Amino acid sequence: MEKVIYFDEGSATDILQIEYGGELISVDEELGTVHFGGKAEASAEVGAGTNFFTAIKAAFSAKASVDTSSTNDSLVSKTISNTILADFYQLSSKLKEENKLHIFDGFRIRPIKNSFTFMKMYSPYMKIIKQESPLLAEMQDFDIHNFDEILENAKGYYELLAYKDDFKVILRFNIKTFKNAYNLMDLPRMKLNYYAVEVGEVEEAELRIENEMDTEEQSKRVSARALIEGEKQTRDYLKVYDVILAGVEAKGN
């Protein structure tokens, strides 16, 4: 992968722990790096029963002070993060073969109009849009000028519609795990590969703000779904995937 746009390190770490039984093979105390499943040589070997978090703590304390290890900008933090990224990327082919991970290549993405994601993407620009704008007219029932701040505390994952030819899915992104100052607004303009895990299904209309907030109507839809045989064949449910890694794939891969 040539450039990483998004990496959900926490979710990737969970996957690596599951795949390797929560154990590490090696820790390089000099560099502050860790290795899952023996994918790289290291100067310090860790026993088969070593707990992941214990090894991480040891790697931090070996090279950094308490203050340094608590910052995302420290050298140790970055080397450990890069190790997790490299190990996950290396494991991705195996996970795909086992149908545990899905890789979306050549998909375009866009927000669903009047969804929370749509509002999150455009709310920072609302203050410069004229009040009589048709865009604002459609959002007159919402406190749009404070929307960005409200969503910061209310929602962690944001859904985007991903499509290729006639095939559509929903990709969810953790708003806090974008890399290198990228954000949701950048995604529709880019050609990326998305490494994702299937987590559920949803109708596109259910992601509009008025439907997400209508819990009573959602309950009715869930009940009907369970009672009416064959309803899934007549309604347009899209699979939902949580994205773990997104970036520009190296040419030739």
pLDDT at position 93? 92
DSSP 8-class letter at 137: H
CB 12 within 8 A of CB 84: yes
pLDDT tens, residue by residue, 99-113: 999 999 999 999 998
CA trace torsion 148, 149, 154, 158 (10° rounding): 30
Q: Which residues contact 148 (CB under 8 A, 6 or more apart)?
A: 120, 123, 124
pLDDT at position 164? 95
CA 33, CA 56: separation in Å to the nearest integer?
8
Structure tokens at 209: 């703000």
pTM, whole model, 2 decimals? 0.72
pLDDT tens string, the chain, 253 residues long: the values are 889 999 999 899 888 888 877 665 566 655 556 666 644 333 333 333 344 555 555 554 544 444 433 444 455 566 667 778 888 998 999 999 999 999 999 999 999 988 888 878 876 666 656 556 665 555 566 666 566 666 676 678 899 999 999 899 999 999 889 998 999 999 999 999 999 999 999 998 998 888 876 655 555 555 555 555 555 445 689 999 999 999 998 776 6
pLDDT tens, residue by residue, 151-182: 676 678 899 999 999 899 999 999 889 998 99
